[in-house]
Amino acid sequence: MTHSITRRKFIKTGISLSAASFIPGTKKIIPPEKDRSRPVVISSRNGLRATEKAMKMISEGSDSLDAVITGVNIIEDDPEDISVGYGGLPNEDGVVELDSSVMHGPTHNAGAVAGLRNIKNPSKVAKLVMERTAHALLVGEGALRFAKSHGFKEENLLTDRSRKIWLKRKEMLSDSDFWLPSASEKIDPDLRAALDSHGTINCCALDAKGDLAGVTTTSGFFFKIPGRVGDSPIIGAGLYVDNDIGAAGSTGLGEANILTCGSNAVVEFMRKGHSPEEACIKTLVRISEKAKLWPRYLDENGHPAFDLNFYAINKKGEYGAASLWKGRRFAVHNGKENILRECAFLYKKERPVSAFSSGLYV
């Protein structure tokens, strides 16, 4: 099974090759997997510590779901990651609202929370929704009450750093309101970090028993309307696992993913025999086609003006990841090494990544 996307296959997808900036990922990015040994843990770029921890737990006999949740808890707890958990960037009111889902292959069960405030590990709450309720998704006030009933302690998730970024955004938003940026501060390093970042973490694993699981967790779209829910807690969009086939998850613009059920599509393409990387690419091609109907999300060339990334593992322990835009990376622990790799991609020209010029930041 090849991991390269041939020109012929691309033409079949119906995506135009004429645009100068559209250069399909013809390069073989991930080496053949014939010597790949299970288990495998894959994650988004910010997940190297998560893959390390999850692989350690799996090698000690842990269930794949426990392993990936413990892995992403490291990132949720880290105030330096401004896209997840504690220190995540807030909504337009300056309040951090977290989304997360978990899915367990062997039981084909899932749990999720959305718009959860004041609890820094939404992935742990999502697992409890799966295990201790007959529901699949709890939101907002109900999710918080559920978490508290299980002993979670409320805390303010807004760090000084994320508050400063939020304040700067608020001050830059309009020239005709009453919020003024500081005269002395020219380039705020925290603001620069926000501009250069991509957030959310997905982590999927195949354990030693051959069981699959996944988790996605995020603080979502920076400056979102309070109550906005992204793809991360939506099973089939930000995460999907079929224990017979594979697991897939996503980071990037949640709205585009919700409208196309992306992670479910990746698993379905793997079911048809595509490698994980091919499945991610084919899903992005489909989304790219649909994006032509969303003028708000198109750049001047008619290409998606947003980021979207998929990460996937199949039942054999093959893995792959793909992004709309060149230059994205993912973390993987293949049982031998824990490394960042380049994602396959659809579009080569770098899109301008700016939370503040495009309004898109996830």
Distance CA 31, CA 16 (A): 27
Taking CB under 6 A as the rule, does residue 249 contact ligand GLY?
A: no
Q: How far is the CB of 237 from ligand GLY (least distance, A)?
A: 9
Q: How far is the CB of 256 from ligand GLY (least distance, A)?
A: 9
Distance CA 85, CA 81 (A): 8
Distance CA 219, CA 84 (A): 5
Q: In angstroms, what CA-CA distances link 300 with 15, 78, 222, 284, 305?
A: 17, 37, 24, 19, 9
Taking CB under 6 A as the rule, does residue 278 contact ligand GLY?
A: no
Among 43, 46, 232, 309, binds ligand GLY (CB under 6 A): 232
Q: How far is the CB of 348 from ligand GLY (least distance, A)?
A: 23
- Candidates 177-185, 228-236, 278-286, 327-335; binding stretch for ligand GLY (CB under 6 A): 228-236
Q: Which is nearer to ligand GLY, 105 or 252 (CB)?
A: 252
- Which H or E element spans position 70? helix 64-77
Taking CB under 6 A as the rule, does residue 256 contact ligand GLY?
A: no
Among 43, 44, 200, 264, binds ligand GLY (CB under 6 A): 200
Question: For residue 213, what are the β-bridge partners?
Answer: 104, 205
Q: Which is nearer to ligand GLY, 254 or 317 (CB)?
A: 254
Distance CA 161, CA 166 (A): 9
- Sheet containing 246-252: order of strands: 239-242, 246-252, 308-314, 319-325, 344-347
Within 10 Å of residue 179's Cβ, how many Cβ atoms?
Answer: 12
How many residues belong to the site for ligand GLY (CB under 6 A)? Answer: 13
Among 76, 97, 231, 318, binds ligand GLY (CB under 6 A): 231
Distance CA 97, CA 114 (A): 8
Q: Which is nearer to ligand GLY, 125 or 253 (CB)?
A: 253
Among 218, 264, 314, 323, binds ligand GLY (CB under 6 A): 218
Among 47, 87, 90, 230, binds ligand GLY (CB under 6 A): 230
| Residues that bind ligand GLY in the complex, under the rule CB under 6 A | 200, 218, 220-221, 230-232, 238, 251-254, 362
